[in-house]
Structure 1
């Protein structure tokens, strides 16, 4: 199963990009044994529209164009469901066992995700009620993907 991240906005080079890349590299290496591949990030341009609703709509159009109908779509949003790490790992395992070809994780821009993308989501996931910068959300997601693979592998990285 291919796992991919779609993110509105760029993560500039520096410690945040390095940390995100490190976790995705680890997830990629550990996930091979279980048929997980990819762990790539596709960055989409932020809208230049002046109104927040217009920005979200334009970004939603770009995101929709990057997602296939058969993709399992997970949107990151503060109003989403909060899962523990074991439940997150179980979700990935279930999708893989069900024959899912691709899981797409979507991280919106500064204004969040438009209603069209959220409506299309198979799951809306939250990293808590707090508002996080999209750069940190990307790192948190990368770490949780790595953690999920280690949970599936029975690796001691996850010490719950």
Structure 2
């Protein structure tokens, strides 16, 4: 299985980018993992929130293929503890999915078209995180899930 994380816009923080890169390298030990950064929508000051979501949504949808299992990181998604998320990930891998695509949207969330295409929604917390920092947090959780599934000592419970 290939695991891909799609994000909108480059991060402004070298530290956040370094953390994402660190965990991406670690996850690649377990499966093929890629982070795809889509460009920010231009001229957002002249766009409504809905127009910005639509433009970002079109860019996201262009990255997807028919067989992808698409999961959105969304505040209204299902919350899992780390062990539960690991089991969720294992279930996706066992299902024969060739490409699991996780998507972190822009600051205003997703368009209706992206929601309609999604197969699942996950929430990391009821708290709000910037769409930049959530990249590092989620990359770490993906790595943690693989260490849990492989009975490695990274996760303590």
In 2, Cα distance between equivalents of 1:57 and 1:63: 10
Number of equivalences = 154
Alignment of 1:11-50 (within 5 A): 11-12=11-12, 14-29=14-29, 31=30, 36-37=31-32, 39-48=33-42, 49=44, 50=47
- Distance between the aligned counterparts of 1:82 and 1:98, measured in 2? 21
Structure 1 stretch 75-84 or stretch 9-18: which is displaced more? Answer: 9-18
Determine helix, strand or coil for the equivalent of 1:134.
coil
Moved over 3 A (4+): none
Name the SS of the counterpart of 1:40 in structure 2: strand
Q: Over aligned residues, Cα RMSD in angstroms?
A: 1.2
TM-score, with structure 2 as normaliser? 0.93
Deviation at 1:155, TM superposition (A): 0.3
Question: Which residue matches 2:132?
Answer: 135
Structure 1 residues 95-134: aligned runs within 5 Å: 95-134=92-131
Query: Structure 1 unaligned runs (5+)?
Result: none
**Shift of residue 13, structure 1, vs aligned partner:** 5.6
Deviation for aligned residue 1:73: 0.5
- In structure 2, runs of 5+ residues without a counterpart are none
